[in-house]
Structures are given as structure tokens and as C-alpha cells.
Chains A and B, each alone.
Chain A
Amino acid sequence: MKVTVNKGIFVIILIFSLTLAGAENFKPVRQKTYDDQIYGYFSRALIGKNNDIIASFYKTPLRLFTSEKSIQFAPYGQGPNELTGLWTLCRYKDDIAMVEMPNKIKIFTGKDGTYVWKETKWFKRGPYAHTPRSVVFLDNKWFFAGINFHDMKETDKKISFVKVYGSDGKAIKDMLVRVVKNAKSATPFMHMDHFIEIYKDRLFYLIENELKVTVIDPKGLSVLKELSLETPGYYKPMPQDFYIWKKYDKPGENIEKDMEQWKFSYSRIMKVEIEGNYLVLQFRIFGEKQKKFALLFYNAENFKLEKTVFTDDCFLGARNGEYYFYANGDPGFDEEDADKCTINVYRWQEEK
């Protein structure tokens, strides 16, 4: 009888201690306010090897946030250290790959506290529109995520969402190919963000309007599986016809208004990142007493939703267990809330 009671107490204490040991909090570890002013909405960001942040904002020169200061680099221009545009960027070995045009990547390397041009890579592209929104380099291949048009046909138009190039710039394969009924059905995908991320030896592809992940084998260039992610109740899906482009009476005014509505009114996925064993994604949430964003941590092996963080900060990226945020939201959409240029860094820490 006594043994049974002791066993019960032991089990309770064990569960209690395991719960305590396992309890983690998403805690701020440091904060830095920069003497800088950013107005444009957040576009792309990544965390460099020295834990510096490279971030692009709409109509704003590219920024590098080091531990000490914010620096503008790669200004607009056609010189080696300049960019005429930035479609997206990714880590490339120890450097940063900047997609300047759909057929051109400029590699920048860290030097003297900033990044400078190292080399240019050219890609053989097709004649039709290609809008890469995300890129990674894996297994000696470049994977561009974004819509790529295969023809100019008005009906039964062929498009693909992932384009694969070899390291020599030659096109290898178009993946996630689909046929849409007409050009109008294809254009919404041009305005959406597409994400591609590396997890171990595979790739995850997501599109901003669906909580769905496509797992790609980068060696065999095949789709391993497609699965829907657990959708929380506060997720506000985008309407199906949301991005249908229309003719405007006053193009300048109304396009801006629509763009803002598109980016601001629904739970579109804003940022996807792999950190440790987590597939992390952020989207906007709505509600009077709610925070601005939800940060969802899915187990990258089984895609179970394991953790959720609600925050007012805009997620920029993660590295070595640290998560970087622009304080108080998106400097473009959240305006005066995110007026100060402050970076917050968080980390999962065990409860003491």
C-alpha cells in the first residue's frame, strides 16, 4: 500500500518537475534603438553571420543594423556596390546573395563593418515575366520561389512557383507547375509573397495566403509532400478573389489604397523562417485587445503547432536561437507606433 502511495507521489513530482523544466518563455534579451528613421513598409530581411540585420523597406535604401549603428549600403545605381532593385535576398555560404533582377544575383561580402560587392551571377531566364520573392542556395542549386510565366497564352496559361537553376546559371527545372484558366487568374500570384526555406536536407515552400507547406527534395527535385498547417481560430483568411487586379480611374491613388488594404487587413503570412527545429511564421491578427501579430512555431518534422507568441513587434528573422524584431510593428503600415527605429531581440528561455 505504502509503495503504491510513494509511487504516486513520485510520479506527480516527476511530472511537475518535467513541466517546470520544459516551461519556456519567449523573453527579450536585448534592445537597441538606432538614430534612424524608416517610413517604408517591411519587405525583406535576414540575419547575417555577425548577427547583424540586413533589411529592406519599401522605397527606403537598404539598411544594415549592426550591434552599434544603422548603415545604409548598396544604394540605387548600376555600379558594382549598387543595386537597381532588390527582389529578395538570402545567405550564400558566408556571404549574402541579393537578387537584383530575376536573372541576376549580386553577392555581397562583409568587409569593414559593412557589405561590399564580391561577384555577380547571371541566370538564363525565359522571355516571360518572372517575379522571384524568395531564394535559397542548396545542393549547388539556386531555388527561386515566385511566379514564373511559361507562355503568353490567354487561356490555359502555364505558370510555376519554383524555378531551379544550377550554379552555372542554367535553368534546370520548373517546379510546382500549374495551369490557370486565363491571365487574370494568374496575376494575383504576382502580388503575393512566396517563401522558400531550407530545413536540413529539404526545402519548405509556402505562399502568403495559405497555411500550407510543400516539402521539396532538392536532390531529386520532386515534391515530397504537401500538407495543411494547423490553423488557429484567430487566423483571418484572405478572400479568394482578393488580389484580382482591376482597372482604376486614378491608378496612382487607388492602387496604393488597395495595396495597403491587401497587406494590412488579413492574416497574410509576412515572414517565414527556419530556426532550430521550428518552422516559424508570422502573420497579422485582428481584435481590439489583441497584439498586432501572431508568431507560430511549428515542429519542422511533424508540422504540429507547438508554440505561439503574440507580439506587437514585426519579425525580421532568426539566427542561433535569437529572434530579431522591428519594435512596435511595420514602420510603413503601423506608422507612428513604429516610429522609433528599435530592434528587439528575443530568445526562448526556460522558466526559473
Chain B
Amino acid sequence: MKKLDFFYNIAIVVLVIGIITVVIYKFAIPVKQPQDSFKIQEFEKVEIIDLSGNEIKLGQLMAKDGATYCIMFRINDCFSCVFDAIQDLKRLRDSGKACMGIIIHDLLDEVRGFTANYEFSPFFMIKRVDFYEFIKSPMTPVLVKFKNNKVESYRYFTPQ
């Protein structure tokens, strides 16, 4: 009988420790974002510029229902990576998804020149200052999937 009591006591202690550990990890310690995570702060404030020079809120370009796919890159990023990402975007567009490209740059003429050789549209430009202000992306090019004005997933493109 005494042996059984001892067993129950030990079991209770193990369970309590387990529950406390789970509660602490789940609720008390804030979840750390991975270092390489892509994030947009103040989504509603992000402004981009179309190739005619008009300023548009990024939120206005999001699909009402369903996902919107967007590639963000600099024009001197790894060319093969950008090409690869745009090929993926074309496939998504062909399957009926909303897609767009955003180039991080300050000069619209440069963006127009760069995009003229791609069989893809629409392209937009985001000024570098706005990119740093609102978007956290440790590397580019990045292909982001937006849904309900939130980042649902993302993928970085690196040389193969």
C-alpha cells in the first residue's frame, strides 16, 4: 500500500512539473521570431509607385478573396534568383492567382528599363527608405504570399 502511495506521489510531482513547464513555455516566455523572418509593419501605411509614377497603397492591390503573391527584389540582386522567382510568379499568374513585382529602388526610369525585358506585369517600385521603414527582410529576392492583408508565407531565392 505504501509502495502504491509513493508511486502516486512521484507521478503527481512529475505531472505538475510537466504542466508548469508547458505553461511557462507557452504563455510566459514570448515566442522568438526566427532571425530570417520576413515581416511587414504597419501594412496599411506601405506605399508603392506604379510605372506611371502614381502612388498606391499596397493594401489596395491585395486580392479581395484569396491570396496575392508578390516578389520583392533589388535590380542588382542575383539575376538568376530574380529570374527564377519571376518564373514561379508567372506560373502562379497562369493558374489564376493575383501576382505582382515590387522593386526596391529610388529611380523610376531605372525600374522601367529593368522591367521592359520581362514578359511579366505589373511591376511597382518601393523607395528604399519606405522599404527599410516598413519591411523587415534580411535578404532579397523574396516571394511573399499575402492573405487578408497579412503575410501568410514567404520564400527567399538563393543561387542554385
Contacts and interface: CB of A to CB of B under 8 A. Distances in A.
Given A78-B106, A80-B107, A152-B160, A104 B80 contact: no
A103 B80 CA distance: 12
Contacts, number: 38
Interface string A62-105: 00000000000000001110001100000000000000011110
B117 A123 contact: yes
Contacts of A127: 79-80, 83-84, 87
B147 interface: no
Nearest to A102: B79
A128 interface: yes
Interface residues of A, number: 19
Contact of A128 (B80, B110, B116): B80
A124 B117 contact: yes
Contacts of A84: 76
A153 to B, nearest CB: 12
Contact of B79 (A79, A80, A103, A122): A103
A169 interface: yes
Contacts of B109: 120
Nearest to B84: A127
Given A125-B79, A127-B79, A104 B113 contact: yes
Interface string A113-138: 00000001011110111000000000
B117 A103 contact: yes
What is the predominant secondary structure among interface residues of chain A facing chain B?
Answer: loop
B120 to A, nearest CB: 13
Nearest to A101: B76
Given A122-B117, A124-B117, A78 B80 contact: no
A235 to B, nearest CB: 37
B114 A122 contact: yes
Interface in B60-87: 75-76, 79-80, 83-84, 87
A77 B87 CA distance: 28
Interface of B: 75-76, 79-80, 83-84, 87, 105-107, 109-110, 113-114, 116-117, 160
Given A102-B79, A129-B80, 19 more contacts: A78-B107, A79-B106, A79-B107, A80-B107, A84-B76, A101-B79, A103-B79, A104-B113, A104-B114, A120-B109, A120-B110, A120-B113, A123-B117, A124-B117, A125-B117, A127-B79, A127-B80, A129-B79, A169-B117
